Amino acid sequence: MDETVPQGESCYCSTGLDDRMRYLERLLQFVAKGAADSPHIEFSLQWCLQLLQSHDSYMDSHRVTFMGAFRAMYKAIQTQCDVLKSSDQNRFMLGFIEEQQQESALPPS
């Protein structure tokens, strides 16, 4: 996914699709793939949010067309959430192990 678009300008790109709705499903799939592959989850989430907010009524009336893209976005976001949970658990375990190591290194008093 091209991360050269400045953070605040994704709204301009997403609203510029009004006359090109046939590309919206492809763009959602592209953003979902980028969210799954990129460590920059906030960037991908902002794109998803802007696209959903800009074209919600169109996507709602054509939801069958967008169902694959919605599933891909959900899967990418869920995968990132799982990675974050694992990271938090690992951080806690490492802190606990370090604390135990420091306690065992202290001489008995």
- pLDDT at position 64, please? 92
Cα–Cα distances (Å) from 26 to 52, 72, 89, 91, 95, in that order, read: 14, 11, 35, 37, 43
Cα–Cα distances (Å) from 62 to 15, 25, 104, in that order, read: 18, 10, 63
Per-residue pLDDT at 1 exceeds 60: no
Q: SS3 breakdown of the chain: % helix, strand, coil, rounded to 5?
A: 80, 0, 20
User: pTM for the whole thing?
Assistant: 0.64
Range 65-94 average pLDDT: 87
> Using the 8-state DSSP alphabet, how is residue 17 labeled?
T
Domain boundaries, given as residue ranges, for the chain: 7-81
Q: What is the CA radius of gyration of the chain?
A: 21
21 or 65: which carries more pLDDT confidence? Answer: 65
Per-residue pLDDT at 17 exceeds 80: no
Mean pLDDT, all residues of the chain = 80
pLDDT-based confidence at residue 71 (cuts at 50, 70, 90): very high
- pLDDT at position 89, please? 86
Per-residue pLDDT at 20 exceeds 80: no
Check: CB of residue 27 under 8 Å from CB of residue 1: no
- pLDDT at position 14, please? 64
Alpha-carbon dihedral sign for residues 22, 27, 25, 50: negative
Backbone angles phi, psi at 60, to 5 degrees: -65, -40
- pLDDT at position 67, please? 92
Per-residue pLDDT at 48 exceeds 60: yes
